[in-house]
Amino acid sequence: MADTPDLLIHGGTIIDPASGAERRADVLIRNGRIETIGDDIGAGSAERFDASGMYLSPGWLDMHVHLREPGYEHKETIETGCAAAAFGGFTGVACMPNTNPPIHTRDVVEFVIERAQRTAVDVYPIACVSKNREGKELTEMADLVDGGAVAFSDDGSPVQSGGLMRRALEYSSMLGRPIINHMEDLTLNPHGHMHEGEVATRLGVPGIPGLAEDVMIARDILLAEFTGGHVHVAHISTARGVELVREAKQRGINVTAEVCTHHFTLTDEAVDESDYSTDTKMHPPLRTAADVEAMKEGLRDGTIDVICTDHAPHATFEKDVEFIAAPFGILGLETAWALTARELIQPGILSIAEAVRKLTTEPRRILGIDQVEITEGAAANLTIFDASTKWTFERRHIHSKSRNTPFVGDEMVGKAHAIYNRGKLVRAAG
């Protein structure tokens, strides 16, 4: 990092998500490390970043991202996905293993880490639970962790066999790593395309029942209790699921949960209102207003630990088809903070510190990644943001290789202005 230019971040407020403490101070970064934190530090030859009216926090980490490389580089590459992350204020992402080849052997774990070296964003591979994500035979979990995998998931292909899930939890707990399950009993959802309910009936679209998610969350809570393993609920979307996690936590079971930004923002009415836009089709699907309220309550009372995106790029030619033929998933990295600020902070559901904790401290704790602090001597890894800037999300703000987001044209509140990590400052232009 010897060639890294020095940087003075001037006039910002440093927020400590662990304690909620705020401190107005300048931060001087030299050679990628925080040298001094104090009042009115002179810039000298250092580049100056005016952070007046902005906050600085430890760099954010999105623990549910699809980077698509290797294998689906027409949707996203590690480089473009990291550019989207940097624009959105994230200095780290954990990436899902449904690539081709899947992240089910150590060489693929190492490939992903190696490809991310040039970017300003730390990439943490999540490896497969089962070989080829087929749900039959466990991967070489210890070897995958040695290579750098931080967790296990067959995301997109939920682990159907309770027996396999039991063994996965037994092994992963020995490694101190969570199993992240896409919670769905596929026999309860053979062919759905949106939330099963009033809107789906009205539109005549086959539904995905909330029950398919609830049943699997209940099973995995019981398996976590039995094995002592750590189950992490991927992209929770149902009110009943939140209740199950709340009860399990009260009983001391090792279960944690994340929610995607779209699941506390939109309901299944968006499918109708957008005239079947395939950018309202994701998995789990957008659900009801009562479910959205339950997501907010779960975030507020701590049942839901983490805010994530399930950033799922698809090429335009793939999404530009009939609703029923389209793949599931939307972009998330570029709009994550603005939706968090608009939907959770502005209405007073979370404080800024609480929201930031669900984007920094909590995902790192769950994944067993070292915490980041803004303190003298530490490697600089931080996000510069506010929760008040009004702006319109436009196509030019999309840094992903794909374009599949329902939020173009949305009035946003709150912006990530820049990240600093790995000796690099990345400003979110515009």
Residues of this chain that interact with Zn ion (CB under 5 A) are 155, 182
Which lies closer to Zn ion via its Cβ, residue 75 or residue 182? 182
DSSP E strands: which ranges in 110-245?
A: 122-127, 151-152, 179-181, 194-195, 207-208, 231-233
Q: How far is the CB of 196 from Zn ion (least distance, A)?
A: 18
| Residue 231 near residue 177 (C-beta atoms within 8 A) | no
Q: How far is the CB of 234 from Zn ion (least distance, A)?
A: 5
Which lies closer to Zn ion via its Cβ, residue 68 or residue 182? 182
Q: How far is the CB of 283 from Zn ion (least distance, A)?
A: 6
- Residue 422 in tokens: 């790995």
Which lies closer to Zn ion via its Cβ, residue 69 or residue 155? 155
Which lies closer to Zn ion via its Cβ, residue 157 or residue 278? 157
For residue 374, give every residue at least 6 positions away whose Cβ sits within 8 Å of its Cβ, in sequence order, or none.
14, 16, 27, 34, 37, 56, 57, 58, 382
* Angle made by CA atoms 60, 65, 71, in degrees to the nearest 5: 140
Report the Cα 339 to chain-centroid distance in Å. 13
| Residue 290 near residue 267 (C-beta atoms within 8 A) | no
CA torsion 317-319-321-327 (nearest 10°) is 120
- Among residues 16, 26, 62, 310, the one annotated as catalytic is 310
Q: Which residue has the tokens 């398919």?
A: 212
Helix (H, G, I), strand (E, B) or coil at 102: coil
Q: How far is the CB of 70 from Zn ion (least distance, A)?
A: 19
Q: How far is the CB of 97 from Zn ion (least distance, A)?
A: 11
Which lies closer to Zn ion via its Cβ, residue 159 or residue 356? 159
In the bound complex, which residue of the shown chain has the CB atom lying closest to Zn ion?
182
Which lies closer to Zn ion via its Cβ, residue 66 or residue 177? 66
Q: How far is the CB of 188 from Zn ion (least distance, A)?
A: 16
Q: Which residue has the tokens 């490697």?
A: 379
Which runs of consecutive H residues, i.e. helices, occur in 183-288?
198-203, 210-227, 239-250, 269-273
**Of 110, 114, 108, 170, residue with least CA distance to 133:** 108
Establish whether 310 is a catalytic residue.
yes
Active-site residue numbers? 310
